Amino acid sequence: MTEPSASARQRPIPEHCTSQTLERIGVSHTDMMGIVHHSHYVVFFERGRLEYMRRRGLSYKEFVGRGLHMPVIELNVRYRKPALFDDELHVETRLGGLTRVTVRFEYAVRRPGAEGSELLLDASVQLACVNDAQRPRGLPADVVQQLLAPERAHS
Amino acid sequence: MTEPSASARQRPIPEHCTSQTLERIGVSHTDMMGIVHHSHYVVFFERGRLEYMRRRGLSYKEFVGRGLHMPVIELNVRYRKPALFDDELHVETRLGGLTRVTVRFEYAVRRPGAEGSELLLDASVQLACVNDAQRPRGLPADVVQQLLAPERAHS
Amino acid sequence: MTEPSASARQRPIPEHCTSQTLERIGVSHTDMMGIVHHSHYVVFFERGRLEYMRRRGLSYKEFVGRGLHMPVIELNVRYRKPALFDDELHVETRLGGLTRVTVRFEYAVRRPGAEGSELLLDASVQLACVNDAQRPRGLPADVVQQLLAPERAHS
Amino acid sequence: MTEPSASARQRPIPEHCTSQTLERIGVSHTDMMGIVHHSHYVVFFERGRLEYMRRRGLSYKEFVGRGLHMPVIELNVRYRKPALFDDELHVETRLGGLTRVTVRFEYAVRRPGAEGSELLLDASVQLACVNDAQRPRGLPADVVQQLLAPERAHS
């Protein structure tokens, strides 16, 4: 067998490949049901992965400066409980998978409380590395290394 | 067996259970990559299913007036090709499934062109019928009937 | 005096310089107060002026293709009455002023009803013509002509 | 003269009535021009004033729990320079005026840099105190006191 299987190509992901961001819910996030409109979480996920990268020394701005982009190619969300105005949500972003061209992030959004935190939703987002002409490109080796690194200290 | 299986409980969906809406891409939809930011489609899907309902005589406003809501409980999107500024997209909303409490819509977003239309993405959204206290409620019989009906004439 | 005054440089605006677009309010537009969140109108205004241009044969896409942009430099809104879910709003976009470099649009958003339409808000947006380097550029003569033209027939 | 003038009714605003929030620019904030779309600042302003209140012990959630709201009745923005992807913006929210029923916030958005910070835009937002039926109501005395207070320590 010269062609490695999909699972063989998938790299093992270290446990430290996780970062957490906070999202305070404003009026603009709510809808007439009094809960956070489901569309806003998609933006929370983006912020989560940009911060995941930044805390590992990977500047998405520099990445774009190299003529590369990571558009979203797949999005899956399971909404379990609604978030409310003024909630401060914990968004956990975990690296979930890496292939030569794609990166997968997994998300858990939780609301901390007196009796422990509640899981409000979980999600996954698949991104593909493309060039300026939207053609697939292999992830550069230094980017792969940064994605697999632990968080550096951050303020 | 007195308990019917999940598939037995799922109703067959007539072929006429589809509606189409148009979305013209503005500057606010685009991002620095020059393509439509992936978050905006989620709002196009909402518009698609509200219009699907309206064209069948089902007013979501009246539905809410009865103390019922349909929050999104699951969202799955596969992005295949990017949309661009000024594109006029065709959003097809199909009823994909109905259980006692949930409704599933399936989506295809296409860009019409000289050589036929291109499929840009497909998606599914699962909604649950809940009351004002966010507790699951059976979909009212008249609502089920309207969801399964063909489009009435619309302007 | 060789330098004309600002008011002299301001062109008179014909009465036909007005276009109307419709905005159907969805759940995503509403907030926990049950009304349309004030931020969404800013996007309705953008759609209004893009459609104003399109109905006069002025493609903003082609404009951008010429290396020109019209960023917003000033925004003023007076919110008078709230809009609600499912409202179909009439957005009137009027050309309000033209200088060598700037374009001003004025807006009135109304909700039609049995006893006539209600004015919900009025607004103005000032745009400047700039090049790709964000430097001010004079509006091309053909663009000025199109901005001052009446609507062509549109579907 | 028994009717006090508008300026007499306006309270003097202490210098300490200012708070600063940070906004990191993500891809979702940008548009095809490569700059932050003008609509997003309106949401930054909302976050600024909610945080202004929170840091003075004024919970907008409790305010809403008392049957009161503060919808935006006027918005004025002057955009001076564009913000870019990955910028970390400083949003300064100052209490600009208080009447019996209205609150005015003034904003300056700056981008810090090696040669000092650049002013990107300034703005003002006028809000009115209303009840659940959208009728004007006098601002409660304790709320006025909190709006005029200095920031408490915050994490």
Predicted confidence (pLDDT) per residue in D34-86, tens digit = 999 999 999 999 999 999 999 999 999 999 999 999 999 999 999 999 999 99
Given a contact cutoff of 8 angstroms between Cβ atoms, the answer to whether C138 and C9 are in contact is no
Q: Minimal CA–CA distance to C29: which of C74, C78, C82?
A: C82
Q: Read off the pLDDT of residues A12-55 as tens digits, 9 standing for 90 and up.
A: 899 999 999 999 999 999 999 999 999 999 999 999 999 999 99
Chain B residue at shortest CA distance from A127: B79
Asked whether the beta carbons of B70 and B63 are under 8 A apart, the reply is: yes
Average pLDDT, chain B: 93
Average pLDDT estimate for D82-97: 97
- Give the minimum alpha-carbon distance from A122 to chain B in angstroms, rounded to a whole number: 10
Give the distance from residue C137's alpha carbon to the nearest chain D alpha carbon, in angstroms: 16
Helix, strand and coil content of chain D, in percent to the nearest 5, comes to 25, 35, 40
CA nearest to D123, candidates D48, D26, D54: D48
Closest residue on chain D to A42 (Cα): D28
pLDDT beneath 50: ranges in chain B: 1-3, 6-8
Burial class (CB in 10 A: 0-12, 13-18, 19+), C39: buried
Give SS3 for D65.
helix
Find chain C residues with C-beta within 8 A of B59's C-beta.
86
Contact C35, C84 (CB under 8 A): yes
Nearest to C39 among D43, D71, D76 (CB): D43
- Is the CB of residue A28 less than 8 Å from the CB of residue C39? yes
Nearest CB to A86 within list D26, D28, D61 = D61
* CB-CB contact of C43 with D39 (8 Å): yes
The DSSP 8-state label assigned to residue D149 in this structure reads S
Interchain CB contacts (distance < 8 Å): A and C:
26
Give the Å distances, CA to CA, from B143 to B15, B46, B95, D133. 18, 18, 13, 30
pLDDT at residue number C11: 76
Q: What are phi and psi of A78, to 5 degrees?
A: -115, 110
**Residue A112 above 70 pLDDT?**
yes
CB A128 within 8 A of CB A73: yes
Residue C155 has pLDDT above 90, yes or no: no
Q: What are phi and psi of D140, to 5 degrees?
A: -60, 150
Could you tell me if C136 and C127 are in contact, meaning their C-beta atoms sit under 8 angstroms apart?
no
Distance between B51 CA and the closest CA of chain C, angstroms: 10
Q: Are C46 and C115 in contact (CB under 8 A)?
A: no
Contact C64 D134 (CB under 8 A): no
User: What 8-state DSSP symbol labels residue A136?
Assistant: B
Identify the three-state secondary structure at position C57: coil
Q: What's the mean pLDDT when you consider all of chain A?
A: 93
Residues of A in CB contact (< 8 Å) with B are 32-33, 35, 38-39, 42-43, 46, 64, 69, 71-80, 82, 134
Q: How many beta-carbon contacts under 8 Å exist across A and D?
A: 36
Q: Between B28, B50, B60, which is nearest C43 by CB? A: B28
How many Cβ atoms from other residues are within 10 Å of residue A142's Cβ?
10
Bridge partner list, D12: none
The residue-averaged pLDDT of C102-108 equals: 98
From the CA of C36, how many Å to the nearest CA of chain A?
9
CB contact under 8 A, D74 and C71: no
How many angstroms away from the CA of A85 is the closest CA of chain C?
Answer: 8
Instruction: Report the chain B residue with the minimal C-alpha distance to residue D27.
Output: B31
Counting one residue from chain C and one from chain D, the pairs whose CB atoms sit within 8 A come to: 56
Q: What is the rounded CA–CA span in Å between residue B56 and residue B64?
A: 16
**In chain D, which residues touch A (CB < 8 A)?**
24, 26-28, 43, 46-47, 50-51, 59-61, 64, 85-86
Closest residue of chain C to B69, computed from CA coordinates: C27
Report helix, strand and coil shares of chain B as percent, to nearest 5: 25, 35, 40
Judged by CB atoms closer than 8 Å, whether chains meet at B46 and C27 is answered as yes
Whether ipTM exceeds 0.95: no
Instruction: Locate the chain A residue with the closest alpha carbon to B132.
Output: A33
Residue B46 gets which letter from DSSP? H
**pLDDT score of D154:** 60
Q: What is the C-alpha to C-alpha distance for residues C89 and C24, in angstroms, rounded to an integer?
A: 6
With CB atoms and an 8 Å threshold, state whether D72 touches C38: yes
Is the Cβ–Cβ distance between C46 and C91 less than 8 Å? Answer: no
Chain C residues whose CB is inside 8 A of the D32 CB are 64
Identity at B87, one-letter amino acid code = D
Summary count for chain C: helices (H), strands (E): 4, 7
Q: What is the CA radius of gyration of chain C?
A: 17
Cα distance between residue A3 and residue A114, in whole Å? 52
Which residues, at least 6 apart from A5, have a Cβ–Cβ distance to it below 8 Å?
Answer: none
C32: chain A residues, CB-CB within 8 Å = 27, 30-32, 34, 85
Longest Cα–Cα distance of chain C, Å, equals: 58
Q: Which residues of C touch B70 (CB under 8 A)?
A: none
pTM over 0.90: yes
Q: Which of these, C82, C95, C97, C101, lies nearest to C37 by C-alpha position?
A: C82
